[in-house]
Amino acid sequence: MKRSFKSGLALFMAFIMVFGGATAAALASLDFGLPRWLESPFSFSANATEDEWKGEGSGIETDPYIIETAEHLAFLASSVNNKGETYENKFFKLVNDIALNSPDVFTYDGDDEENGNVTGKAAGKTPNEWTAIGSNYDNTFKGTFDGGGHTVSGIYINKTENFQGLFGYVSDGTIKNLGIISSYIKGGSRVGGVAGVNRGTIANCHSKKGTVTGSDRIGGMAGENWGIVSNCRNSGIVKGSENVGGIVGENRGIVSNCYNTDSVTGPGRTGGVVGLNNSEGTVSNCYNIGSVTGTGSYSYVGGVAGINSDGAVADCYYLSGKATGGIDSADIGGQAESLTDAQMKNQNSFANWDFTDVWTINGDPDYEYPELYVLQKVDVTSVEILPEDEEVVLFLFSKTTHRFKAKISPSNATNKAIEWGSSDEDIASVDEKSGLVTAVSPGTAVITVTAIDGGFTDIYEVTVKRNDAGGFAVTDIPNRIYTGGEIKPAVEVKFGDVTLTLNTDYTVGYTDNINAGTATVTITGIDRFENDKIANFTITEASASSFSVTGIQNPKYTGAEHTPTVGVKFNGETLTLGIDYTVGYEDNINIGTARVIITGIGNFEGTKTVTFNILPIEPEKITISDKTLELICEDTATLSAVIEPYNTTNQNIIWLSSDKKVATVDADGKVTATGRGTATITAIVEFSDFSDIRSDTCTVTVKLTFRQWIIKTLMFWWHLIRMFFEMFKIL
């Protein structure tokens, strides 16, 4: 519930600070006249412009600033007096009867001419003294203040300064529909119950059970009037030294349809309606039944006007015998007529008055004289709630408030004050003054409006619900790539323009959020929300290129396809063949590089290619068929060799001879004896990459026949002799 002042302590301290002798000078030292802890929702911020008002109302005619407490009035006075605010073209509305002093401190009934019944003084208490709204010519009120038929009571002013009243100086402003009761207002010059000086309009106002007193220009409504005072009544004591009137002290404007019922006293220029009516002044359709007493030797005393200085007085009347000490029946050359008590109670005595819309004599035994319709008490007969909708449903997050309006009948009822209440403040609270309903918790509550006058009531049911999470706005969730585990992306959730808080406004759950495909996010409203909001995001297939492949060895050539079993992992988890991937092979028969092609399926896409080598079969051993050979020179023999294993890839045998003069060997292992001696025949097989060999040997012994020996010997000597002769030939 929105309240202007949230605690009794704040309210109590506010009265003390504002009214406890706080002069305009003292208030000027404060921030807008009030301490920060006292500022109501209607106070100005430190950097506000003159037409900026925090809280209820915007100051326009259809949405006026709302005045509902004494603190609000005090703030208005301070902002006009200390900050230069005039509130020109701004509107205020009083919505409550306001007491500026509590009854145990100050009550005034006008019986004591000087102080009234100031009960607080007997108890040693000092009343809070009011500082008028608009303290002088430079600080004036120019707005419109509508009292709404309410009253301000307990005004206590006991000063010597000029411009005293609820308002000090009103310039081009309007004060209307306001009552001033049980107040004591004392000042220097220009003192009035409503305003010290009026240069605007005072209309439909009244005062009773009070005293207005001062030196010069003292009036029940206004001390000095340059504007309009109409449809007003004074029923309080008015006293002064000069220019004293029941309605206006000195009139330079218009006074119409007004009357006075209480005593008016002054030594000079004292009148039942106006004290002095200047040449610019007009007084019409007014009357006085209160006593008018002149106390000075030069008194000008009149039942209506003390003295008329070339002004206009028309259709005005006073009760015969009420003006003493000065002019009576001869007042203003007969322009104000004296009537007997019987005549004063007879409508026919007021020939030019409007008894249709303005005046009435209703036969009330308590008051048989003419009364103003606008000031008569009109009783309330009913009150009705006027909702804007047939059904009022509030929510806990948005649309949390609803302001009810009420219609008082009749429309011209005097007291239109109402109070609001709720059957269950834990479900829906309501501001008792404004009718603003605030949702608190789910359920149903009955809102009741009560007319203060007569106690009439009307009710309306309000339903409070949690806001539907279906109205959540969820930001788009980007696609995610399959990880093998649960994917739980964070989500941003808004309701309207407000970003909500996880675990305060909602919780989040996930389904179908592991495998590739569409995953679901369920956002469930909590606390102020209910129901679910569904959002989705896509899990895309992971790339097979991220596979980790294990288990592939480099096999030896077999002549058949090699299809090694592979182990495939993703993020450390072993995948399943046929579910997560398939396997294909290329170039997997012959020696060389073979390829394994792993293709992602299911949660995977794309391929991963790994290679392995098909290795040749290397020789382990080679064995020559003969370990020794004995040959006769020029004989031949063929050796053979066996490579183990039999399927060794390289079957090429290399044959070598250690001494070709003894024996030679060809590529097929054929040994030819070439000379006497011993030679070693070696068979070699190389590894495919030439990194190693395997070998075996055969020892060959070659002998000569006798004939071969003779020939060899002869040939030796022949060569030797020949060489000898060649040497001598050279010589």
CA distance 514 to 545: 20
CA distance 160 to 154: 19
Residue 389 confidence (pLDDT) = 67
Residue 560 confidence (pLDDT) = 94
CA distance 608 to 543: 9
Handedness of CA 123, 125, 130, 136 (dihedral sign): positive
118 falls in which pLDDT band (50, 70, 90)? low
Residue 193 confidence (pLDDT) = 98
Stretch 101-122: mean pLDDT: 62
At residue 54, does pLDDT exceed 70?
no
Least confident interval from 7-11, 80-84, 546-550, 646-650: 7-11
Residue 34 confidence (pLDDT) = 34
513-547 pLDDT, tens digit each: 999 999 999 999 999 999 999 999 999 999 999 99
Least confident interval from 50-59, 449-458, 492-501: 50-59
Integer CA distances (angstroms), 682 to 175, 228, 475, 628, 663, in order: 138, 146, 84, 11, 12
Residue 376 confidence (pLDDT) = 82
At residue 29, does pLDDT exceed 70?
no
Q: Give the residue with greater pLDDT, 351 vs 24.
A: 351
Integer CA distances (angstroms), 401 to 2, 158, 189, in order: 10, 45, 50
CA distance 159 to 188: 7
Nearby residues of 723 by Cβ (< 8 Å), 6 or more positions away: none
User: Among the ranges 20-24, 40-44, 600-604, which has the highest mean pLDDT value?
Assistant: 600-604
CA distance 606 to 447: 68
Give the β-pairing of 480-481 and 498-499. unpaired
Residue 273 confidence (pLDDT) = 97
Residue 705 confidence (pLDDT) = 79
Stretch 357-382: mean pLDDT: 89
* DSSP of 339-371: E-HHHHT-GGG-TTS-TTTTEE----TT--S-E
Handedness of CA 586, 589, 592, 596 (dihedral sign): positive
Q: Where do the H-state alpha helices sit in 264-405?
A: 341-344
Residue 1 confidence (pLDDT) = 32
Whether 403 contacts 434, CB under 8 Å: yes
419 falls in which pLDDT band (50, 70, 90)? very high
Least confident interval from 119-123, 157-161, 220-224: 119-123
Distance of CA 182 to the CA centre of its chain: 46
Residue 363 corresponds to which tokens in the numbers above? 């036969």
Residue 47 confidence (pLDDT) = 27
**CA-atom Rg of the chain in angstroms:** 60
How does DSSP classify residue 33? Answer: G
304 falls in which pLDDT band (50, 70, 90)? very high
Torsion angle, alpha carbons of 279, 283, 289, 294, to 10: -10
At residue 365, does pLDDT exceed 80?
yes
CA distance 380 to 320: 37
How many CA atoms, within 13 angstroms, populate the side-chain half-sphere of residue 325? 20
Least confident interval from 31-40, 576-585, 719-728: 31-40
Residue 109 confidence (pLDDT) = 67
Give the β-pairing of 506-511 and 517-525. antiparallel
CA distance 251 to 394: 56
How many CA atoms, within 13 angstroms, populate the side-chain half-sphere of residue 332? 33
Beta strand ranges found along 62-166 (DSSP E): 65-67, 91-94, 98-99, 144-153, 156-158
133-171 pLDDT, tens digit each: 999 999 999 999 999 989 999 999 999 999 999 999 999
Q: Give the residue with greater pLDDT, 51 vs 659.
A: 659
Give the β-pairing of 480-481 and 532-540. parallel
At residue 55, does pLDDT exceed 50?
no
Residue 335 confidence (pLDDT) = 58
How many CA atoms, within 13 angstroms, populate the side-chain half-sphere of residue 212? 39
At residue 40, does pLDDT exceed 70?
no
